[in-house]
Amino acid sequence: MNGNRMGIAVVAACVLGLGACNRTRDVSDTELTTLLRVERASATDPKAPLDAGAINCLRAWSGDADLIKELQPASAGEAAKASCKPKIDGWLADATRNPDKLSFKDVSAPPAVRRAAVLLGEHQPTQLTGELPSKTAAPPAAMMPAPPHAPLATNSPALGTAVSTINELDDLCTRAKQQGAAGGPNAQTVTRYANYCQQSVLRLRSRVTALEASGDPKQAQALADNAQRLLDVGRRLEAQQSGGSNPPPSNQ
Q: How far apart are CA 66 and CA 116, in angstroms?
A: 14
- Is the sign of the CA dihedral 24, 25, 28, 31 positive or negative? negative
C-alpha R_g of the chain: 21
Q: What pLDDT is stored for residue 88 in this prediction? A: 92
What is the end-to-end Cα distance of the chain in Å, rounded?
Answer: 28
pLDDT tens-digit readout, 1-55: 444 444 444 444 444 444 445 577 889 999 999 999 988 888 888 899 998 889 9
- Three-state SS for 5-39 is HHHHHHHHHHHHCCCHHHCCCCCCHHHHHHHHECC
Question: What single string gives the DSSP state of each residue in 189-201?
Answer: HHHHHHHHHHHHH
d(CA 72, CA 76): 7
Q: pTM of this prediction?
A: 0.46
Residue ranges in the chain modelled with pLDDT below 70:
1-22, 125-156, 185, 214-215, 241-252
